[in-house]
Structure 1
Amino acid sequence: MTENSPRKVLITGGTGLIGSRLAELLIDSGYEVALLSREPAKSSHYRSFRWDPRSGTIDDAAVPYADYIVNLAGASVSDGKWTDERKRDIMTSRLGGLALLHRELAKPGHHVKAFISASAIGVYGDTADTVLTEDTAPGLPTHDFLADVAHQWELAAEPIAALGIRTVVPRIGIVLSKDGGALPQMARPMKLGAGAALGSGKQYMSWIHLDDLCRLFMAMLDDETWGGTYNAVAPAPVTNLQFTETLAQVLHRRLVLPKVPAFGLKLALGEMSDIVLASQRVSAQKVLAQGFTFEYPELRGALEALYVGE
């Protein structure tokens, strides 16, 4: 790579909510972007390489292309009930991709300087109002599927760090975007006058605006002092009730319904109800101490930026 040639970023899971926006912001900042995809035709905006973590196949040119790799690949935890088959897919889609990347990165002939591998704050389990830092132990996997998935996801990235490649593991909170994730699902009933807090409403939600998350990823790429695990959350977690009330105010709606009881959510969603009922009060202190500045540190400002004029 010459002094003036663009830095090249290879993104797995690049057609998802985070990957799509990250690719746009990277291009705007002068990076070159390529996607590693099972169906390259879907991602025609960018150069694409084919891979299939299930069968262990990958385009030989993919890893040698990259200066940096951002790994976001993994089946969504919020698409459909958690049947045994679905849970297997959620787990293996994460671990298979990392195993395949490790195999390729262990070979000579590439110039990958840094590897960002996504994780999630679900790793901490359901922890009431305890403030969670990167040093907090993972939740008990036997009791908590999300904690187990995130923990295994992180463990699968360790062999890549052991190769001597700078590895950063952002534990991602609830990503706020109008284009996907939890927020549109929360806003939809509210716009229809049927918004309500979920469960007790006391459970903590640790969130981050999509653009702040992508800027954080870019800081992790750019700055060699980033390494290890970081909580990728804004510095102001709120309870579910506070979140619901703030969203209602920003949307100019009133909350008219009582809280949606936890047992009702469990009946409707099964184990997947853990996503909205688990409480995680996650600290952003380590990211702040690293010098990162949030554009949207407070929930109201983040929601107003997304729903202005609605």
Structure 2
Amino acid sequence: MTSLLWTLIAIQVVMGVFDTFYHHELTERLAWRPSQRYELQLHALRNMLYALLFLVLGWLEVHGVFAMLIIVVLVAEIVITLMDFVEEDMSRKLPASERINHTLLAINYGAILVLLLPVLIGWAAQPTGVKSAYTGWLSLIAAAAAVGAALCGLRDFTASKRLSRMTSAPTASLVEKLPDRQTVLVTGATGFIGSRLVAGLSGAGHQVIALVRSPAKIEMLPPPITLITSLDQLPADTRIDAIVNLAGEPIGNGLWTEAKRRKILDSRINMTGDIVRLIARLERKPAVLVSGSAIGWYGLWQDQVLTESAKSHACFSHELCDAWEKAARPAEEHGVRVVYLRIGLVIGTDGGFITRMLTPFEFGLGGPLGSGRQWMSWIERDDLIRLIAHVIARQEISGPVNATAPIPVTNLNFTEELGRRLRRPAVFRISGGLLRRVGGDFANELLLGGQRVLPNKALSNGFVFRHETLRSAFEAIL
């Protein structure tokens, strides 16, 4: 085996490590997505084949039948990779960087095969046997690569087994409170919350009109639904019984620069204004508008208990949520009941803030942020969907509604409970001062600040949470 061949193999290893840790673990978080169970099984099998190849080619020279078996392993790897390509296209949308990396891996692997196959064919022509082919540091690197590939294979296999146990509740049961057959317009329909709501409504036989800004995300939504890319596509005689407005630029995926703040604010205000204008021109007005908001409306507090009647403290989160709610208020002038859903931290494994925590916690690197005394008012995603259906069905509910579980916890309690569920320590505390220096208001409001919110209006109007405690929620989703 030539130095050029080993160089190409080294390049393949580096690109593979990058793909595994940056894409599979850090950004796509495949190990915690139930939809990727089959993909992880393919990855596990392929990694084990890689481990075998690294060990054999790094330390041995195999002849005859053994060389033929190595050729069979290479063919099997190609078949598994092709199956992986198909599975990825069917189950998730690959980011551009991952597609580029996969293309480069395929090109480089082709070059490796061009150089390696003649060597293996030559070995296959010799009498069957095995002899040592120790090449110093190259053999040691190959052994390290074999160990790494085997560990990744075991990781993917155990993750796929875990995902097989992570089953979601039937979607139709989430909206059982809705009477008769409703026509519901949902904005933000492909988001973490919106996609689950659409699945619940569609599964229960309701008619869903989904506003989708990105055509590439349409495949995420289950049929049968009506897809639109602009509210202008809806004629004035369209029947809509309820509108659920969840659209908006995510607030937790980047630092709050001035441009980011403007994008966060404008995305919500503009969409809500478009909805009010739609309501104004509809011949038959919807009965209710459930407009998204957040517990950030209350601003930053210490230990005070906050209900829907509480006052607010000034900060960007309050400014954002207050403007969002005010943008929806004119719908009341058209006789529409308006509910401002002040949503807490939504827990689920398909998205939301917790997906960023699972990988470091799984590797024992999790822990509290700052002092850990800041409150986290949370809600399990399916409970949130059930609450949305509840406020649509209950005509007496209007105004602000806190969408949080009845038992908020501190950040310290949250991290301890997550560590307990994952059977990992949660002792790696991150300095609050460091977070503030790096993240500014983003860190101060979202990571180190909090609110102790109670869902008084939901409870007093008969809503029953399936998951009142964090432990119950984690047991349901993890």
Question: Do residues 246 (structure 1) and 421 (structure 2) align?
Answer: no
- CA distance in 2 between counterparts of 1:41 and 1:112 reads 29
Residue aligned with 1:75, SS: coil
Match of residue 49 from structure 1: 228
Q: Structure 1: which amino acid aligns with 2:441?
A: E
Match of residue 33 from structure 2: none
Residue aligned with 1:119, SS: strand
Q: 1:62 to 1:27 in 2, by over 3 A?
A: farther
Cα deviation, residue 63, structure 1: 8.2
Matches within 5 A, 1:15-30: 15-30=190-205
Contact 2:243 2:290 (C-alpha < 8 Å) held by counterparts: yes
Contact 2:293 2:324 (C-alpha < 8 Å) held by counterparts: yes
Contact 1:63 1:104 (C-alpha < 8 Å) held by counterparts: no
Question: Do residues 96 (structure 1) and 270 (structure 2) align?
Answer: yes
Match of residue 54 from structure 1: none
- Give the alignment's Cα RMSD to 1 decimal: 1.7
* 1:69-110 superposed Cα distances (whole Å, 9 cap, x missing partner): 100011000121111111000000000011111112112413
Match of residue 115 from structure 1: 289
Question: Do residues 233 (structure 1) and 399 (structure 2) align?
Answer: no
Q: 1:113 to 1:63 in 2, by over 3 A?
A: farther
1:209 to 365, 368, 380: 380
The percent identity for this pair of structures is: 39
Contact 1:36 1:62 (C-alpha < 8 Å) held by counterparts: no
Q: Structure 2: which amino acid aligns with 1:159?
A: P
2:431 to 261, 267, 270: 261
Residue aligned with 1:106, SS: helix
1:36 to 211, 225, 229: 211
- CA distance in 2 between counterparts of 1:62 and 1:129 reads 48
Q: Structure 1: which amino acid aligns with 2:377?
A: S
Q: Structure 2: which amino acid aligns with 1:306?
A: I
Compute the TM-score of the two structures, normalised by the length of structure 1: 0.91
Cα deviation, residue 48, structure 1: 0.9
Compute the TM-score of the two structures, normalised by the length of structure 2: 0.60
* 1:223-246 superposed Cα distances (whole Å, 9 cap, x missing partner): 212211110000000000000000
Q: Which runs of 4+ in 1 moved over 6 A?
A: none
Match of residue 272 from structure 1: 442
Cα deviation, residue 58, structure 1: 2.4
Q: 1:63 to 1:201 in 2, by over 3 A?
A: farther
- CA distance in 2 between counterparts of 1:85 and 1:117 reads 24
Contact 1:172 1:233 (C-alpha < 8 Å) held by counterparts: yes
Match of residue 198 from structure 1: 369
* 1:260-293 superposed Cα distances (whole Å, 9 cap, x missing partner): 1111112332321121111200011221111000
Contact 1:36 1:48 (C-alpha < 8 Å) held by counterparts: yes
Cα deviation, residue 41, structure 1: 5.4
1:10 to 158, 166, 185: 185
Residue aligned with 2:416, SS: helix
Match of residue 14 from structure 2: none
Question: Do residues 137 (structure 1) and 311 (structure 2) align?
Answer: yes
Cα deviation, residue 256, structure 1: 3.4
Paired residue total:
295
* 1:115-168 superposed Cα distances (whole Å, 9 cap, x missing partner): 10010000111101000011112221xxx1111101111111110122210111
Q: 1:108 to 1:174 in 2, by over 3 A?
A: closer
Residue aligned with 2:458, SS: helix
- CA distance in 2 between counterparts of 1:154 and 1:290 reads 21
Residue aligned with 1:96, SS: helix
Match of residue 462 from structure 2: 291
Contact 1:6 1:31 (C-alpha < 8 Å) held by counterparts: yes
Q: Structure 2: which amino acid aligns with 1:26?
A: L
Which has the larger displacement, 263-272 or 150-159? 263-272
Q: Greater relative contact order: 1 or 2 (C-alpha under 8 angstroms, separation 6 or more)? A: 1
Q: Structure 1: which amino acid aligns with 2:464?
A: T
Residue aligned with 1:58, SS: helix
Larger Rg: 2
Bigger fraction of residues in strand: 1
Q: Structure 1: which amino acid aligns with 2:229?
A: R
